[in-house]
Amino acid sequence: MDFALTETQMMFQQAAADFARQEVDPVAIKLENAKEFPWELTQKMAALGFMGLVIPEQYGGAGADYLSYLLVEGEMAKTSISLSMTLGAQNSLVALPIMGFASEEQKQKYLPIIASGEKLGCFALTEPNAGSDPAGMATTAVKKGDKWVINGTKIYITNGSVAKIAVVWARTGTRSDGKPLISAFIVDRDVSPFKTGTVEDKMGVHASPTTELIFEDCAVPAENMLGKEGDGFKVALLTLNTGRLSVATQSIGLATAAYDRAKKFARERKQFGKPLTEFQGISFKLADMITDLNAARMLTYRAVWLKEMKGLSDPEFISVAAQAKLFASEMASRVTSDAVQIHGGYGYMKDYRVEEFFRAARLMEIVEGTSEIQRLTISTWELKQ
């Protein structure tokens, strides 16, 4: 395997690093404290092509490969996990399922407005009684003439309050084995209105709103079904399998930021007449942190390689993607915790930002499938070998 990045990949990564340093870093703390969605920065990301990185050029996107997208997302996560979440929702959770399952007419209609950032998107799967178990879904879609009428509530939807395009899952019937028939729909809020319910008050990642969405007799044109009736599980699983690499990358990005701050602080901070780096208790922590980071990065890159070589449905890719997400997210919790510890009392203060990354890291072990779900996915594959 060649670990060298291509010239194009390095170009995307550098563009993201420059944008993060020049535009985001000076206001990052203010954004989190304000708990407001950063519209201006989001539109600037769109102007750079970041909102449609994975979308082919023929639909107005950047036509980047998946690793280029992850590199951009990782750079954003070093400065603002909230903006990286918006980037991930647009590219990974909305654009990818449309690219993979939509008709040509649907692609031409929706991908350009997603790529341009004209409309933001969200992934509406989770419900009060359907998180790790989507079969417990209660939202329904009933066919009435040339429309599907959706009723139900979704929760914990990233950017739900600002999104205009939602990929929504609902029960459309019952299979012969008695299990629910789940289908996916592209819902344009301007055409088929739905409501924003509770905007959650979260532990962290404050500039990315997490909300409840309420569908009350939401009439969606029949041609907006994504794929065939009953394809919902397939659409969700393939999207989540790929999205796990997005979460792994965000975990690596925020953990890298915490590590860099901890290393800088340890070099500058003196106790008992010498820098903290001269104490083994600190230098060994830093050694473990960078080893963890590099291990997570290599595991994620291998999963990307398997995706390109074998495809999204390949069982080995699915297992390694779950491994990457599991290891990287738990790594981020370890690294950010150690970063706080190295800073001592300073680490508990917001100005140093390591406490912010510590709080954000905790989310990574939950989104796109909890650590327990990742272990279930991995063990299911391994025990078949």
- Residues with a catalytic annotation lie at 368
Helices (H) and strands (E) in the chain, counts: 12, 10
Question: Cα–Cα distance between 60 and 305 in angstroms, integer?
Answer: 26
- Judge contact between 186 and 110, C-beta under 8 A: yes
Q: Are strands 140-144 and 121-124 parallel, antiparallel or unpaired?
A: unpaired
Bridge partners of 173, per DSSP, are 181
What is the token pair recorded at 80? Answer: 């603002």
What is the token pair recorded at 258? Answer: 């915490």
- Judge contact between 84 and 204, C-beta under 8 A: no
Place of tokens 């979308």: 55
DSSP assignments along 159-213, one per residue: TTTT-SEEEEEEEEEE-TTS-EEEEEEEEETTTS--EEEEE---SS-TTS-EEEE
